[in-house]
Amino acid sequence: MALFGAKQPSAKKTTAKKAVSSAAETKEVKKAPEVAGEQSMQELYAGDTVKKTSSKKKSAPSTRYEGAYRVLAKPLITEKATELGALNKYAFIITANANKIEVAKAVQAIYGVIPTSVNIIAMKGKAVTRGRIRGQRKDWKKAIVTLKKGDSIKIYEGV
């Protein structure tokens, strides 16, 4: 047993040395392709990063508002609203939880016009009856948007 024990450590040392040297070679071999791959990837993506930053500069962040179509439900087309059009005022039905700032941003994003003022009116739903059944329509909000002279919104194109 002593003989086997004496031979084993020397065998382990030689195999360990071989393993270390082979590991070092594989590390060196592995490093070379990784570095070459990283350089080529950097070269490949170098042009893309420049394009991405330049595309961000082209878009105007002030006119971009992703919730615009959720805020403005639809334009309000009534006799009174058409008369307000002569005064450069436009009426919209908006969501119940919208405020003046959101409405102004939505009008700017959708129609490309900056409003001078926004007035919001909370409308109560009417009480309705259908035979013996009584009910009530939903409460809703109306926004009247005032634009400066020369600006306009073409709401009545399809009407």
Question: What mean pLDDT is reported for the chain?
Answer: 76
Q: What is the pLDDT of residues 109-147, one digit of tens each?
A: 999 999 999 999 999 999 999 999 999 999 999 999 999
Q: Residue 154's pLDDT is what?
A: 86
pTM over 0.95: no
Residue closest to 91 by CA, chosen among 73, 105, 114: 73
Q: Residue 10's pLDDT is what?
A: 53
Residue 53, CA distances (Å) to 45, 60, 83, 121 in order: 13, 13, 46, 42
The answer, yes or no, to whether residue 22 has pLDDT greater than 80, is: no
Q: Is 156 helix (H, G, I), strand (E, B) or coil?
A: coil
Output the CA angle 136-138-144, nearest 5 degrees.
130
Q: Is 121 helix (H, G, I), strand (E, B) or coil?
A: strand
Strand partners, 143: 92, 120
Domain ranges of the chain: 1-59, 63-147
User: Which tokens belong to 56?
Assistant: 């961000």
Output the CA angle 103-108-109, nearest 5 degrees.
95
Question: Which homologous superfamily is 63-147 in?
Answer: RRM (RNA recognition motif) domain (3.30.70.330)
